[in-house]
Structure 1
Amino acid sequence: MLPYIANAFPPQCSTYNVTLSVEHILLHCVRYREERRPLAVYCRGRGLPLKQTTLLGDEHPDVVDILMIYLTEANLIRKL
Structure 2
Amino acid sequence: MVPSGDILFLLLLPVAAAQMTPGSCSGCGPLSLPLLVGLVAADAVVSLLIVVVVFLCARPRGRPTQEDGKIYINMPGRG
Higher helix share: 1
Bin for the TM-score computed over the shorter chain: under 0.3
TM-score, normalising length from structure 2?
A: 0.20
TM-score, normalising length from structure 1?
A: 0.20
